[in-house]
A and B are shown apart, each in its own frame.
Chain A
Amino acid sequence: MKSGNNGMSVKRKQEAAGWAFLTPATLLIFIMSFYPILQALFTSFQTGAGVKMAWADPWYNNYIRMFKDKLFLRSVGNTFLYLLIQVPIMLILAILLAQILNNKDLKFRGFFRTCIFLPCATALVSYALIFKSLFATEGLINHILVSLGILQQNYNFLGNPTSAKAVIIIALLWRWTGYNMVFYLAGLQNIEYSIYEAAKIDGANGWKSFWHITVPLLRPTIIMTVIMSINGTLQLYDESVNLTAGGPANSTITMSHYIYNNSFGTGVANFGYAAAMSFFVFILVAILALINMKVGDTRD
């Protein structure tokens, strides 16, 4: 009888311990993520900053203003341009590199992997500044292009909207391709290498085994990297701030950068308006993540 009671209390103790273990993390996520996103929603119906916050009139005014704000629309356009050009190139390069590096006949695999993964060791601010310096008017790239005779004179890459965007895309490719490659390499390790050897015996060449073995088997990893890349690109900030400072004339500014400028940056702070724009980013991220998960589900 007594031992039975003891057993009950031990069970209950375990139960309580399980909940206690996950309480700090759960509380922190509720306080530091869920509560602030609700707050952001409330703030988005207000206008002003600091102690001078007032309800917007009409209450959805910030959302109307947002879609009439040419600069905000441009920041959305820029972000999507980076997304549509950079993410596909990066992911295709990453998966190709992973496929090549997964070949057991290849020598120096570890060396190549380390080199290509190395850019991940830099801070976002660091590599933004490195690329800014490399592509400066008096920078190395200009120096090389002029001495090769490709350019007549030094070109201000960061002073032209199109080339400045190209520099941002090149920099992003440099920083994140190796990062994504690591996911694919990890995914490939779960694929039995003998499948490839069997395919080889059946006469499948590199491309065939790439399309018919690697891509289908890596699908879960691909979906995850697509979600992560979209998520990351929609939140681009460090590169826009430090590589181009959003310029020239705000032509390369990203959504997060513009929102920052409207809340903590140089302009007039308007927490309400900034919150409305940031809520828009949240909805975009959430929708794209849901679409991706749906795509992943139906194909499986």
Chain B
Amino acid sequence: MTKKKVSGTQKRLIPAYIFLIIMAFLSVFPFYWMISAATNETLAVARGKLTFGTYTIENYKNLLAQTDLWGAMKNSFVYATAQTIMAILVCSLAGFGFELYHDKAKDRLFGILLLAMMIPGVATMIPLFKMISKAGLLNTVWGFMLPAVSTPFLIMMFRQNSRNFPTEIMEAARIDGQSEPGIFFRMYFPIMRSTYAAAAVITFMNAWNSYMWPRIVMTRNQAQTMPMLIANLSNGYKVDYGMLMMGVLFCSVPTMVIFFVLQKQFAEGVAGAVK
């Protein structure tokens, strides 16, 4: 009896399954193609070869010969890590302050800071470029990350999630003689670690993927990031697709690893401030 009912439900879901299979295929296929193309010679890629080839090493060698691949990987990694650490520190401090010490003045200030969400990057890039170059920070990790360290999105995310923070233990800690920074580092930080994980994942992804701003401030070749490196690869008249996709693969591996290992945190980070 129940079995029949279940299979009936499943039967009604067939259109849903078909739709989902098509959507899942369309979503995954470009990835598969990228990986298979990275293992094939450019001619085979152009001929529409969809299976894995034996040209992987050559594509990698060509890429190494034409670009400073590992230099760019290192740069991207260092910049993105630095930005992640700074951003979650600065924004979590602010979220902590805004929520757990809140009063009218702070709420008003928070409302003002949220307005920064409306400011598009393209509108501030010229003044920021002037500022960063005047400060001598072109081609430095500071120039890369300073405009992106404090974001209303992250502050809001920490603030919203701080609502669940038990205020009684703050009082208890104060009675025990704990200082205010002590409360932050010894209690808030460990209790909020899932929010930190989500914030770190989303910040790292954004920093790794950023393109317009690095293109403006990282003017030297030695300071180049991975997105800049692969964008330059496709600029020539004749494109070597195998090599290009090898570069794209390198640029995607760190974010894909994070995606698969920390998918829950990533989804939480994306939807971070919704709660």
Q: Are the CB atoms of A263 and B126 closer together than 8 Å?
A: yes
Segment at the interface with B among A60-68, A83-91, A274-282: A274-282
Residue B190, interface by CB 8 Å: no
Q: Are the CB atoms of B127 and A255 closer together than 8 Å?
A: no
Residue A34, interface by CB 8 Å: yes
Cβ proximity bits B183-218 to A, threshold 8 Å, 1 near / 0 not: 010000000000000000000010011011001100
Q: Are the CB atoms of B274 and A187 closer together than 8 Å?
A: yes
Residue A294, interface by CB 8 Å: no
B212 surroundings in chain A (CB, below 8 A): 237-238, 256, 260
Q: Are the CB atoms of A118 and B259 closer together than 8 Å?
A: yes
**Docked pose: A286 CA to B116 CA in angstroms:** 10
Q: Are the CB atoms of A32 and B146 closer together than 8 Å?
A: yes
Cβ proximity bits A231-264 to B, threshold 8 Å, 1 near / 0 not: 1001101100110000000000001100110011
A147 surroundings in chain B (CB, below 8 A): 48
Q: Are the CB atoms of A282 and B123 closer together than 8 Å?
A: yes
Residue B78, interface by CB 8 Å: no
Across the interface, name the chain A residue whose C-beta is closest to B152: A29
Residue B10, interface by CB 8 Å: yes
Chain A contact residues: helix, strand, loop or mixed: helix
**Docked pose: A259 CA to B226 CA in angstroms:** 23
Q: Are the CB atoms of B150 and A285 closer together than 8 Å?
A: no
Residue A204, interface by CB 8 Å: no
Residue A162, interface by CB 8 Å: no
**Docked pose: A13 CA to B178 CA in angstroms:** 12
Knowing A10-B174, A25-B150, A274-B126 are in contact, say whether A237-B211 is a contact too (CB < 8 A).
Answer: yes
Q: List 19 A-B contacts (CB under 8 A).
A: A21-B93, A22-B97, A117-B27, A129-B231, A144-B48, A182-B267, A182-B271, A186-B271, A231-B120, A235-B122, A238-B211, A238-B212, A255-B122, A256-B121, A275-B126, A278-B120, A281-B120, A281-B123, A285-B120
Binding site for B on A (CB under 8 A): 10, 13-15, 17-22, 24-26, 28-29, 32-37, 39-40, 43, 93, 97, 100-101, 103, 105-107, 111-112, 114-127, 129-134, 136, 138-140, 143-144, 147, 174, 178-179, 182-183, 185-187, 221, 224, 231, 234-235, 237-238, 241-242, 255-256, 259-260, 263-264, 271, 274-275, 278-279, 281-282, 285-286, 289
Binding site for A on B (CB under 8 A): 9-10, 13, 16-17, 19-20, 23-24, 26-28, 30-31, 33-34, 37, 45-48, 50, 90-91, 93-94, 96-98, 100-103, 106, 109, 113, 116-131, 146-147, 149-150, 152, 155, 174, 180-181, 184, 205, 208-209, 211-212, 215-216, 226-227, 230-231, 233-234, 239, 241, 244-245, 248, 251-252, 255-256, 258-259, 263, 266-267, 270-271, 274
